[in-house]
A and B are shown apart, each in its own frame.
Chain A
């Protein structure tokens, strides 16, 4: 049972699923409003609304095929939603309608960065180059859209050096300085995951979307990941939205959890709320709500209080 993998055992069943989230976070960075995504006859996401609080780590969880990655693809501009609105509110109050922006502008203007479930680095380019590609927008401006750069003007050279410094700082943080000049595709899996997060952070995002960042990591690597994510939340103006199956990551670092099942939101609240939510447990166990108590008794979960 996946939920039991957390540090605290599942608590007793309480029967008040959605009561804990009347309005969601007070200062949201992302507002998803009645989002629906249909592929032909299949409704992958159905009338989903939730908010991501500024400065929070929000987890999006749910069983396989619940529509989590579809939500991500809608937020980051890879899919155009069938219905609904996705708004991103920056600190100054400027609001971007993400569903109306062309794909690359979601990152360029609205500053939403993402990673992918199956890592998408630039495998033949070096680690350092991967990070510099992420600084495309400021460097492009510094190079005068390549015209000044071609002439070899010093303005670009100093901008590039600043970029390298920034990349080097991130490499220090993720412990990859020694491998900076190696091809990214040659790195071990865990390093590639961290590099992809660092690359996304190099775009200075206000919202960082991570699609299963702990997939394939061993326990030590996934605790390093927790540290990295907390650092991102605490030291940068970046809110984090993540999809994750590893409950040790989800329960430890999330400020808020949204649970999807069959494209519908079934719960939204703090980790403690979610841990005790009947519908969440039912979804993960694959039984109806009414049978949860019986099944829990059977597997010996009932009564093990947190």
Chain B
């Protein structure tokens, strides 16, 4: 913005000297710049007239509305920023950190509690299980991304290896289940570990040649790997069905009991009335368990020498080598473990959709998962979970903002603004919390444990 020459500090200083007039002057300046920008862009619109030629419509009302909005926003922003800076100055920085970690400690059990009871809450909230379907579906979607975020967090957050092709391992997992079940007729419970192993094997396969690279170079090679997997899936039609994908993948069973209405089905065996929602609820708890296993393993790993070596590797690779840590093996294990969880998530994806196609594994998916990890705060488990809820659940909220139509007119579809809001959220995060939502690191061990 042109009047950005009034830096926040200068503005704040002025605001402190003479609070109200200073703020009004500053906001007025912003409104003036807005006016300058609006005159050529907004003030006149050309429409097709009745006959030939264009009709000019003037829109001065909109221009002044915009100027007023900018004035008010700038005024409030300065009021808030000034107050915040004064509060910050008064408070020791350590208090901020403690506040954030306490926030994490409170949020974690609440989030877990909601996650555990979501099907019940949805059923109660919507009236019946069937009507709560939307919420359970959304929960499954969010949890899939939470799991992917936690898996990628091992690679990016702990080991510090920037992986832009994480979705490739997700694809390997999904296609593993799709092919093994449709071609060999194996059940989901046999395929799940196999999908994880396949994905981990691909992680090692990719890792061996590229892990000598660092930073940007590693990012580019992993990006290419993600695209290679996708292109192979599109073009190797005999193997993967090409862009048509693989359909009618067998559904999940309750450890062998199918979710069908028949005699041997899940509902009949347990003496329940048949309800198609049973399968969905089961899927929900399945992904919840898978995600929690990912979390548990990550937390355990942080306390193990290998996990500490990952974090040490992120901090200083040369020092690691001087301490006798084999950096290649250490990076490979991080890559393989991260890939394995993506493989599990992938086979879950395939069993839920009953259909896979290469379209589901494009670069945007990798970007979203990476954004979840970075926004959540690299290395923070609860931060990643919250970021996943916001990034995946947030856009869903837009569907329900019907009242905006009353404001912006009937043709307004909030969903079209998804990516715009996405970008705005990113910019806001970079400005206010550049190191992610939960940026402080919890030590994996404390000296107090010596006496225990």
| Chain A residues within CB distance 8 Å of chain B | 76-78, 103-108, 113-114, 116, 120-126, 128-129, 132-137, 139-140, 143, 145-146, 149-150, 152, 156, 160-161, 164-165, 168, 171, 177, 180-181, 183, 199-200, 203
B315 touches A150 (CB 8 A): no
Chain B, 299-322, CB within 8 A of any chain A CB: 300-301, 303-309, 311-312, 315-316, 318-322
- B432-452, CB under 8 A of A: which get 1 and which 0? 000000000101111111101
Known interface pairs A128-B445, A164-B445. Does A104 touch B325 (Cβ–Cβ under 8 Å)?
Answer: yes
**29 A-B pairs whose Cβ atoms sit less than 8 Å apart in the complex:** A76-B322, A78-B322, A103-B321, A104-B324, A106-B324, A107-B324, A113-B323, A120-B318, A120-B319, A121-B316, A121-B319, A122-B311, A122-B315, A128-B445, A128-B446, A129-B311, A133-B305, A133-B312, A135-B305, A136-B308, A136-B309, A136-B324, A139-B305, A143-B304, A146-B306, A149-B305, A150-B300, A161-B449, A203-B323
A108 touches B304 (CB 8 A): no
Which residues in A have their C-beta under 8 angstroms from that of B312?
A: 122, 125, 133
A133 touches B300 (CB 8 A): no
Which residues in B have their C-beta under 8 angstroms from that of A135?
A: 305
A128 touches B311 (CB 8 A): no
Complexed CA–CA distance, A132 and B445 (Å): 9
Chain A's nearest CB lies how many Å from the CB of B292?
A: 15
Which residues in B have their C-beta under 8 angstroms from that of A203?
A: 323-324
Complexed CA–CA distance, A7 and B307 (Å): 48
Complexed CA–CA distance, A183 and B443 (Å): 9
B319 touches A116 (CB 8 A): yes
Is B327 in contact with chain A by the CB < 8 A criterion? yes
Is B56 in contact with chain A by the CB < 8 A criterion? no
Complexed CA–CA distance, A180 and B326 (Å): 26
Q: Which 9 A-B pairs have the closest CB atoms?
A: A107-B324, A108-B324, A122-B315, A180-B447, A139-B305, A120-B319, A149-B304, A133-B312, A146-B306
Chain B's nearest CB lies how many Å from the CB of A197?
A: 12
Which residues in B have their C-beta under 8 angstroms from that of A143?
A: 304-306
Q: Out of B318, B322, B333, which one reaches A113, CB within 8 Å?
A: B322
Is B116 in contact with chain A by the CB < 8 A criterion? no
Q: Out of B301, B309, B327, which one reaches A133, CB within 8 Å?
A: B309
B324 touches A164 (CB 8 A): no
Is B81 in contact with chain A by the CB < 8 A criterion? no
Complexed CA–CA distance, A122 and B333 (Å): 20
A104 touches B327 (CB 8 A): yes
Which residues in A have their C-beta under 8 angstroms from that of B327?
A: 104
Complexed CA–CA distance, A122 and B441 (Å): 13
Is B297 in contact with chain A by the CB < 8 A criterion? yes
Known interface pairs A125-B311, A133-B312. Does A105 touch B324 (Cβ–Cβ under 8 Å)?
Answer: yes
Which residues in B have their C-beta under 8 angstroms from that of A123?
A: 315-316
